[in-house]
Amino acid sequence: MARLEKFLNEAEIKDLLVRERYYRDSHQWENLRQCYHPDAAKTSINITWYNGDIDGFVTGPKQMATRKSA
């Protein structure tokens, strides 16, 4: 049973990662935000172009996309 549980957990994580990337790439900001913990203080993101909480991570690309389309 432990192997099945591990497989299901890994499948759920993979599904979440695929959805998160899809939502970001397709500018679905609300759906992207829902992929993370509801409390922004509990999610710290540190990548090459951003270091901060999830709300800033969602807001940054959203603002960039808005500027490009204007």
- pLDDT profile of the chain (70 residues), mean per 10: 89 96 93 93 88 90 73
Q: Give pTM, 2 decimals.
A: 0.76
- The domain tally of the chain equals 1
State which residues form the domain around 36: 2-69
Beta-bridge partners for 53: 44
Q: Given the structure tokens 């957990």, which residue do they identify? A: 9
Determine the pLDDT at residue 70: 62
Determine the pLDDT at residue 3: 92
Q: On the CB side of 49, how many CA atoms lie within 13 Å of its CA?
A: 5
Determine the pLDDT at residue 31: 96
